[in-house]
């Protein structure tokens, strides 16, 4: 198991548990301003840490494609769509669908990066998608509701933006370590999200009860979790990374169920089992 897989448990723990608490925070915060706060706090804490380590510097010329792709697509566009969708779609479903890069990342890796996908990796992807379908339970959604359809389309689009950002960082790898680029990535994400929040939510903001969650997400989950998923996406083949990321929604659903005090049903056991099996197969093929 390579170094990238060793970062996976931390990414799963941080990001999988983030969606339920974000849903709770939106009781006293508006989605876009919460996304702005997340990006802004993460930029500040990442810059402060690098300044203490004396590693804070401007991106080099070869770093800019990754900085812009990650800042505008993954940290800007992804969170704009995902935070808007979490107000329309249950938190568990948000965690599931927004993290399903499989249907974007595998074809992009083949078409853009020229990767070869082995039979075992195709089987792993199929197991993972089957697990996602079981967890998401599309048969239980009222597809006649426009807000539910819009929320799901936003999540699929968010996964697409995340996938494109991963492909850019692999096709045009930065010269600097990704850790040293995080303040700039989050800074561009902040600049992307701020005018959207001002336009869509002129009277919005983050109220008192949501600030502890905002601080947890912005100061811990966003910088550390984002660094983990970026490194995983850069270092693993597209087919393997897309399957590995499925552990995030599986854990997110589990946290949502425990948060709400609900019993774990057969769908959670079966869907989670399929996803774990898919990751095990992907790990064997890497």
For the segment 113-157, what is each residue's pLDDT rounded down to a tens digit? 888 888 888 888 888 888 888 877 777 778 888 888 888 888 889
SS3 for 206?
A: strand
Between CA 278 and CA 281 the distance in angstroms is 5
The candidate with the shortest Cα–Cα distance to 238, out of 148, 106, 75, 92, is 106
CB 75 within 8 A of CB 185: yes
CB 123 within 8 A of CB 243: no
Given this model, what pLDDT does residue 261 score? Answer: 66
Tokens of 154: 């936003």
More confident residue, 13 or 55: 55
CB 32 within 8 A of CB 193: yes
Given this model, what pLDDT does residue 281 score? Answer: 82
For the segment 235-284, what is each residue's pLDDT rounded down to a tens digit? 878 778 777 777 877 777 777 777 656 556 777 778 878 888 888 887 77
SS3 for 114?
A: coil
pLDDT, averaged across the chain: 85
Between CA 48 and CA 226 the distance in angstroms is 16
Tokens of 27: 């009781």
The residue whose two tokens read 């270092």 is 235
CB 200 within 8 A of CB 34: no
Between CA 252 and CA 280 the distance in angstroms is 19
Domains of the chain by residue range:
3-285
More confident residue, 181 or 252: 181
Q: Is residue 54 pLDDT above 90, yes or no?
A: yes
Tokens of 258: 């425990």
More confident residue, 243 or 179: 179
Q: Give me the percent of the chain exceeding a pLDDT of 90.
A: 36
The residue whose two tokens read 């697509």 is 73
C-alpha atoms less than 13 angstroms from C-alpha of 202 in its C-beta half-sphere: 1
pTM across the whole model: 0.84
Least confident window among 67-71, 213-217, 247-251 = 247-251
User: Quick one: 69 exposed, middle or buried, by C-beta within 10 A (0-12, 13-18, 19+)?
Assistant: buried
SS3 for 29?
A: strand
**Cα 229–232–235 angle (5° rounding)?**
145
Given this model, what pLDDT does residue 220 score? Answer: 92
Provide mean pLDDT across the span 225-229: 88
């Amino acid at each position: 198991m390579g170094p990238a897989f060793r970062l996976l448990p931390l990414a799963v723990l941080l990001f999988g548990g983030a969606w339920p608490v974000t849903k709770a925070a939106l009781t006293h915060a508006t989605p876009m301003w919460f996304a702005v706060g997340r990006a802004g706090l993460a930029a500040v804490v990442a810059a402060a840490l690098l300044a203490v380590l004396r590693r804070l510097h401007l991106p080099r010329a070869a770093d800019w494609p990754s900085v812009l792709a990650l800042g505008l697509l993954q940290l800007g566009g992804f969170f704009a769509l995902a935070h808007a969708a979490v107000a329309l779609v249950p938190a568990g479903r948000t965690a599931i669908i927004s993290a399903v890069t499989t249907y974007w990342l595998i074809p992009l890796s083949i078409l853009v990066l020229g990767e070869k996908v082995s039979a075992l990796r195709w089987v792993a992807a199929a197991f993972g998608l089957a697990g996602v379908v079981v967890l998401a339970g599309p048969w239980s959604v009222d597809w006649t509701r426009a807000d539910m359809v819009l929320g799901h389309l936003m999540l699929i689009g968010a996964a697409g933006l995340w996938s494109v950002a991963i492909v850019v960082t692999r096709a045009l790898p930065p010269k600097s370590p990704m850790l040293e680029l995080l303040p700039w990535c989050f800074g561009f994400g902040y600049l992307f999200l701020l005018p959207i929040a001002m336009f869509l939510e002129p009277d919005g903001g983050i109220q008192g009860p949501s600030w502890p969650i905002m601080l947890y997400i912005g100061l811990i989950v966003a910088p550390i979790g984002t660094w983990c998923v970026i490194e995983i996406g850069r270092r693993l083949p597209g087919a393997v990374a897309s399957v590995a990321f499925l552990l995030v929604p599986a854990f997110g659903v589990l946290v949502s169920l425990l948060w709400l005090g609900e019993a774990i049903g057969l769908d959670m056991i079966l869907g989670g089992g399929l996803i774990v099996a898919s990751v095990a197969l992907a790990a064997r093929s890497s």
